[in-house]
Amino acid sequence: MRPILLSGHERALTQVKYSRDGDIIFSVSKDHVICAWFSINGERLGTYHGHQGALWTVDVDPSTTLLASGGADNTIRLWEVKTGRLLKTWDFPTAIKRVEFSPDGRRLLGVTEKRMGYLGTIVVFDIILEVDADQTNEPSLRIECTESKATVAGFSYVGKYIIAGHEDGTVSQYDAKTAEQYLNLTVHEPDIPITDLQWSADRTYFITASKDKTAKLVSAVDLEVLKTYVTDTPLNSAAITPVKDFVILGGGQAAMDVTTTSARQGKFEARFYHKIFEEEIGRVRGHFGPLNYVAVHPEGTGYCSGGEDGYVRVHHFDKAYFDFLYEVEREQAKI
């Protein structure tokens, strides 16, 4: 497996995302620029300019026409994927930590930071999936997180619930239409923030990553913890692979702690765990800083990771990855 190294960013990567067809990778970093890359050969399609601050998050709608991004300049911006044209800017009092389109692309969710007397909120905008449409100015839904601010959020299957991960290690389930909170459960260690939340292909369950060094597979219906993956390093990201029953975890010693810890070796790797047996099956090294985000190709043929070192590494899995089976799985396949 020869990874493709994308070095278009000048500062630490914060998020990388595949388009629905997996052909384009969008990456955002703290250098204010969004990049679009073809996943097949690493060719850069273009860059999106306009943000005035570090970018924290990016998402693309399922038809790959609109791109949403949010960052430390307190705006969510909507872009035309094809040309890099800025279509719409929504202003907020605080930074945007996460944006995500609903599965049908008609709604856009944004998570705002808690700061300067403002509570952390989750806002939802109705989106018209056309480039030249006049997008709404006001959010259709607003959830205030009074207890603990949300760090990550996303839409469950058919956009029924909004699931949010919080700074205090809890996960909440809201109704995506009425904003009513149904559940709030402590999934991770109390008071240790959840750093990532990514969905399975059908969005009935998701994986959360936390600084408490674990990742958990959680059901979207009742927030029941299905599986737990224990590692030896704080995690920044976790993703579920389609085709094979694996999960990929990324993390590493926080950049600010690297110089004060001796055991830095071997922490900046993507860790592969078996999704069902909760057992580590391998690691992929390469980054020389913590991994800030891992994203999996929607067809399960590869993955890419964005690191604190400013590089995106795009991996296409080889045969050994697809051939690997546990003894019991092989037995099962024979029957």
Phi, psi (degrees; rounded to nearest 5) at 252: 135, 165
The smaller minimum CB distance to another protein, of residues 330 and 334, is found at 330
Question: Which of 76, 95, 284, 295 touches another protein (CB under 8 A)?
Answer: 284
Question: Which of 11, 54, 84, 192 touches another protein (CB under 8 A)?
Answer: 84
H/E/C letters for each residue in 20-39? CCCCEEEEEECCCCEEEEEC
The smaller minimum CB distance to another protein, of residues 41 and 146, is found at 41
Asked if residue 280 binds another protein (CB under 8 A), the reply is yes
Asked if residue 313 binds another protein (CB under 8 A), the reply is yes
Question: Which of 11, 53, 54, 64 touches another protein (CB under 8 A)?
Answer: 64
Least CB distance to another protein at residue 111 (A): 26
Q: Give the per-residue contact string, 234-263, with another protein (x = CB under 8 A; - = no).
A: ------------x-----------------
- Measured CA to CA, the distance from residue 184 to residue 63 in angstroms comes to 32
Question: Which of 6, 78, 122, 171 touches another protein (CB under 8 A)?
Answer: 6
Candidate ranges 91-99, 191-199, 204-212, 322-330; the one touching another protein (CB under 8 A): 322-330
Question: Which of 130, 224, 257, 279 touches another protein (CB under 8 A)?
Answer: 279
Q: Is 160 exposed, middle or buried (0-12, 13-18, 19+ CB in 10 A)?
A: middle
The smaller minimum CB distance to another protein, of residues 205 and 272, is found at 272
Asked if residue 42 binds another protein (CB under 8 A), the reply is yes
Least CB distance to another protein at residue 85 (A): 8
Residues 278, 292: contact at Cβ < 8 Å? no
Question: Which of 13, 15, 29, 48 touches another protein (CB under 8 A)?
Answer: 48
- Measured CA to CA, the distance from residue 73 to residue 6 in angstroms comes to 25
Q: State the pairing for strand pair 225-230/214-219.
A: antiparallel
- Measured CA to CA, the distance from residue 240 to residue 7 in angstroms comes to 25
Q: Is 90 exposed, middle or buried (0-12, 13-18, 19+ CB in 10 A)?
A: buried
What Rg value do the Cα atoms of the chain yield, rounded? Answer: 19
Q: State the pairing for strand pair 205-210/194-199.
A: antiparallel
Q: SS3 breakdown of the chain: % helix, strand, coil, rounded to 5?
A: 5, 50, 45
Phi, psi (degrees; rounded to nearest 5) at 153: -160, 160
Question: Which of 272, 293, 295, 308 touches another protein (CB under 8 A)?
Answer: 272
Q: In what order do the strands lie in the sheet with 141-145?
A: 96-101, 107-112, 120-126, 141-145
Size of the site for another protein (CB under 8 A): 47
The smaller minimum CB distance to another protein, of residues 284 and 296, is found at 284
Asked if residue 23 binds another protein (CB under 8 A), the reply is yes
Question: Which of 38, 183, 185, 289 touches another protein (CB under 8 A)?
Answer: 38
Per CB under 8 A, residues contacting another protein are 1-8, 21, 23-24, 33, 37-38, 40-49, 64, 82-84, 246, 272, 279-286, 313, 315, 317-318, 320-321, 324, 326-327
